[in-house]
Amino acid sequence: MYSLPIEAKLDVLKCLNFNQLISFKLINFYFLNLINKYEGELCFRMKFKKLSINVNLQELDSYKIIEPKPGFVKYILNDKRKKYLHTDLFRYFYLIFFSENERSSLNSVVCIERTFDYLLDNEPRYYILKLPIFPRSFEELAIIRYCLGQLFTNSVFEYALFGEAVFNPELLDLLFNDNKTISHKFHIQKPNLFPSGTVSIDYIWKFVSKHLTISDCLTIDFDNNFGIYSIDPKLFDIITMRGYGLPKILLRNLTCKRLYSEIIKHITKSEDCSQMVANISLHYSWPLKFKLSERAENIEIKQLNGVKYTKYQLANIHNPKIKFSFCNEERNNGMIVNVKIRKMKE
């Protein structure tokens, strides 16, 4: 193995699963460094189905509670953290930010649902991770840092649900910002966000933008907010100015057409559309009447299974090569329920 060229070594390592790679890392520093260097090319992250906070344990068919005790991991604090722990600010830091409905829940848990592939080992379907919600000691900070560090570096999730509670990005920054070798982001393919009155889209996005790596689609569902009645500056900023890190975005249960109008305005008149999300879907909780833009080009109207689809394109006035395609799904009365927006290749 040692005498093989690096390409051959990687071919061998790619045949190993997560547990086997972990065993290889423990052989010696050579394999530890090799696997760490090329972990992006290896099956190094264990895949889970879903990550969520605060679940009803009575609704789970089988689960295992994991509750780390103080002292199981050592933790060296830097001066910044020591200063924080000796000030009154300490009492205000918490691991999870709750909505008003969940504020009284001091026994919050992190729920990790396993994929069906891993259920063949007869282990429980869910892991329930109980962490100190209001850390009050070095030891409790050590527990949080170690456990979340394992999820950041060794796990990938197909889905995630964040609504009535999300991780506090300020505490995560405090714990991980000094260590550049440890990722401080959850790797999630399709996170689902449910903003509520207290856990606002602004706070949720602060957590998402700093501590999530999204490989597929970000879904924001405004059902808990009874729709969004006016355009949220932060939401518009996510779509138009910070979308370079998002492959897709789906907004569900919208009730206001202003966001649609502002997106069209940005596409046609903005001097820079380079950071806009390239794949946008808008879902309305009740149908709305939209006026077709005067700048619409290549208009096509089709009927399929009783549904009317209006397709058209919009070009940017500053750079006509930048175009977006639209597809409006309409009911028989002309009211729109879904809009799909795609950036076209130049």
**Residue 273 and residue 239 in contact, taking contact as beta carbons nearer than 8 Å:** no
With b for 16 or more beta-carbon neighbours within 10 A and e for fewer, the 175-207 pattern comes to: bbeeeeeebbbbbbbbbbbbbbeebebebbbbb
Beta strands 279-288 and 248-254 are parallel
Q: Which two tokens stand for residue 36?
A: 């760490």
Residue 168 has pLDDT above 50, yes or no: yes
This prediction's pTM: 0.81
- Residue 22: band (very low, low, confident or very high) from pLDDT cuts 50, 70, 90: low
Q: Which two tokens stand for residue 343?
A: 């950036």
pLDDT at 286: 83
Query: Lowest mean pLDDT: which of 39-48, 115-124, 191-200, 329-338?
Result: 39-48
pLDDT tens-digit series, residues 282-299 = 999 888 888 899 999 999
Beta strands 279-288 and 297-304 are unpaired
pLDDT at 88: 47
Give every CB contact of residue 189 below 8 A, 6+ residues apart in sequence.
Answer: 156, 157, 158, 159, 214, 215, 216, 217
pLDDT tens-digit series, residues 295-335 = 999 999 999 888 999 999 999 999 999 999 999 999 877 78
